[in-house]
Amino acid sequence: MSRSEYTFTSESVSEGHPDKVCDRISDAVLDAFLAEDPQARVACETFATTDRVVIGGEVRGPGKVIQAVEEIARQCVRDIGYEQKGFHWANVQVSNYLHAQSADIAQGVDASGNKDEGAGDQGIMFGYACDETPELMPAPIHYAHAILKKLAEVRKNSTEPKLGPDMKSQLSLRYEGGKPVEATSLVLSTQHLDPSLSSDDVRAIVEPYIRSILPEDWLTDSTEWWINPTGKFVIGGPDGDAGLTGRKIIVDTYGGAAPHGGGAFSGKDPTKVDRSAAYAARYLAKNVVAAGLAKRCTLQLSYAIGVSKPLSIYVDTHGTGEVAEAQIEKAVAKAMDLTPRGIRTHLEMNKPIYQRTAAYGHFGRAPEDDGGFSWEKVDLVEALKAAI
């Protein structure tokens, strides 16, 4: 039996967080390659610290994109909003160490003769969905993202010019009967550009926006508010703490409410099953819940490098299923081709759609007309019902 009475916490970080700056740059490089060549191979890592961005990794695609990497990085930093001493888009030193993809990896992944395209690596990937929110996401991570996204909006449109790009949120929700009913605590640390602001001053700025995001009855007299608890947050971004691609994998997914296979997403083209199969697992889990087959669904896929078909499919409905998990496992395998090529084709993933995923979560977002967040569609509902 699943627990029905508990408190659960998730955190989010903004686009200006040092690790998210790096995720953004890595995904912007990926998008630049895919815009020129939909079959490009990219594994791009970024490191950022005071006045410096270092980019490296393996790529296969147009050489002119490699030449544009420095400008791509600067435009990312500029859009995020860093124009501060110690990290300014115009002055930061950018080092580019991208090089050709390993021939050994390419040999295992590429299709040839009767061999279909294989997975880019071995690994396990998890997808998850639940009926706590209309987006079928866990409520703590969904609202932690929403708070920061709103604050980024009012910062960037100059409604709140005293806020800086670097922010973190953390939300603890109390559950009754398996549903969130109250925010027991709320933590928000936000960079502020005016050094004279106190924690109370910052709270006065951000509280109305937080209240506009959370359901009204969740904030009670018992809710603990922790706004800039250290008292001052002026030095932010990579100048305050170094950043690295792929260090926020729990923020990127389900906020700890579901297992994680361990592979990061940003900077990886969709032949890498760390990314594409994790998106497919979310897609399938979401459609299972949307179809009414369960209130919660965890779905695991596993792959071997160079092998096209998944080695295993596992489903857990946490005691909420309307049918046996084994039936759902067979149904999802029938409803979707889960080879790397099949996933990319079904979800139309060979497009420059990844930079937008780098902050505020890869899941729970609305599908977009150009193919962005295609893994959030619920267009498999009827196919799953039919297969069951």
Annotated binding-site positions for ATP = 17, 166-168, 232-233, 241, 247-248, 264, 268
Question: Among the options 182, 201, 241, 322, which is catalytic?
Answer: 241
Measured CA to CA, the distance from residue 347 to residue 70 in angstroms comes to 30
Feature table: binding site for Mg(2+): 19
Question: Among the options 192, 272, 275, 296, which is catalytic?
Answer: 272
Question: Among the options 8, 11, 15, 20, which is catalytic?
Answer: 20
Residue 201 falls in the annotated catalytic set: no
Feature table: binding site: 17, 19, 45, 58, 101, 166-168, 232-233, 241, 247-248, 264, 268, 272
Question: Among the options 8, 11, 15, 17, which is catalytic?
Answer: 17
Residue 341 falls in the annotated catalytic set: no
Question: Among the options 274, 316, 325, 376, which is catalytic?
Answer: 274
Question: Among the options 41, 60, 168, 296, which is catalytic?
Answer: 168
Feature table: binding site for L-methionine: 58, 101, 241, 272
Residue 348 falls in the annotated catalytic set: no
Residue 385 falls in the annotated catalytic set: no
Feature table: binding site for K(+): 45
Residue 242 falls in the annotated catalytic set: yes
Residue 268 falls in the annotated catalytic set: yes
Residue 233 falls in the annotated catalytic set: yes
Residue 115 falls in the annotated catalytic set: no
Question: Among the options 41, 247, 295, 346, which is catalytic?
Answer: 247
Question: Among the options 15, 31, 45, 269, which is catalytic?
Answer: 45
Question: Among the options 74, 142, 192, 268, which is catalytic?
Answer: 268
Residue 241 falls in the annotated catalytic set: yes
Question: Among the options 8, 33, 233, 363, which is catalytic?
Answer: 233
- The 3 state secondary structure assigned to the chain is CCCCCEEEEEEEECCCCHHHHHHHHHHHHHHHHHHHCCCCEEEEEEEEECCEEEEEEEEECCHHHHHCHHHHHHHHHHHHCCEECCEECCCCEEEEEEEECCHHHHHHHCCECCECCCECCCEEEEEEEECCCCCCCCHHHHHHHHHHHHHHHHHHCCCCCCEEEEEEEEEEEEEECCEEEEEEEEEEEEEECCCCCCHHHHHHHHHHHHHHHCCHHHCCCCCEEEECCCCCCCCCHHHCCCEECCCCHHHHCCCCCCCCCCCCCCCECCCCHHHHHHHHHHHHHHHHHHCCCCCEEEEEEEECECCCCCCEEEEECCCCCCCCHHHHHHHHHHHCCCCHHHHHHHCCCCCCCCHHHCCCCCCCCCCCCCCCCHHHCCCCHHHHHHHC
Question: Among the options 36, 52, 88, 242, which is catalytic?
Answer: 242
Question: Among the options 24, 60, 145, 248, which is catalytic?
Answer: 248
State the catalytic residues: 17, 19-20, 45, 58, 168, 233, 241-242, 247-248, 268, 272, 274
